[in-house]
């Protein structure tokens, strides 16, 4: 988990704020499930970023060595996919933290 060392054992730092509800939920969810939830949250953020990057680059005509050919669209699609994965992996825009928190809280509620 991407949290900063916390002097308060009963709370967890989320976006720079203590979150005792998340800290309690994390005790009810296995480390394996936490890791899977973190990966799914990161994948979700990458998908969101890919959509945003695709919209940003949709109006750009091909320049450079590929020109404006049919291959340019496929290449640009792969490039935005890799950009989005890279951005999400390095912290993204923060969506994955909120998605992770929601997933963990739901799993903890089901666990009892």
- Find the domain containing 47 and state its range: 13-111
**Is residue 69 a part of any domain in this protein?**
yes
pLDDT at 39 over 90: yes
- Domains: count for the chain: 1
User: Among 11-20, 36-45, 100-109, whose mean pLDDT is lowest?
Assistant: 11-20
Sign of CA dihedral 107, 108, 111, 112: negative
Q: CA 82, CA 22: separation in Å to the nearest integer?
A: 31
**Is residue 48 a part of any domain in this protein?**
yes
Q: Which pLDDT belongs to residue 26? A: 93
pLDDT at 4 over 80: no
**Is residue 7 a part of any domain in this protein?**
no
**Is residue 85 a part of any domain in this protein?**
yes
pLDDT band at 18 (very low <50, low <70, confident <90, very high): confident
**Is residue 71 a part of any domain in this protein?**
yes
**Is residue 59 a part of any domain in this protein?**
yes
> Hunting for tokens 């709370």 — which residue is that?
11
pLDDT more than 70, % of the chain: 75
**Contact criterion met (CB below 8 Å) for 108 and 29:** yes
pLDDT in tens, 59-103: 776 665 556 666 677 778 888 899 999 999 888 888 999 999 999
């Amino acid at each position: 988990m991407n949290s900063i060392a916390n002097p308060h054992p009963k709370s967890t730092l989320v976006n720079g704020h203590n979150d005792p509800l998340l800290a309690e939920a994390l005790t009810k969810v296995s480390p394996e499930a936490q890791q899977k939830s973190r990966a799914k949250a990161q994948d979700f953020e990458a998908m969101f970023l890919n959509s945003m990057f695709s919209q940003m680059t949709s109006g750009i005509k091909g320049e450079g060595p590929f020109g404006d050919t049919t291959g340019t669209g496929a290449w640009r699609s792969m490039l935005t996919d890799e950009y989005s994965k890279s951005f999400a992996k390095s912290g993204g825009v923060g969506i994955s933290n909120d998605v992770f928190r929601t997933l963990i809280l739901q799993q903890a509620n089901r666990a009892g």
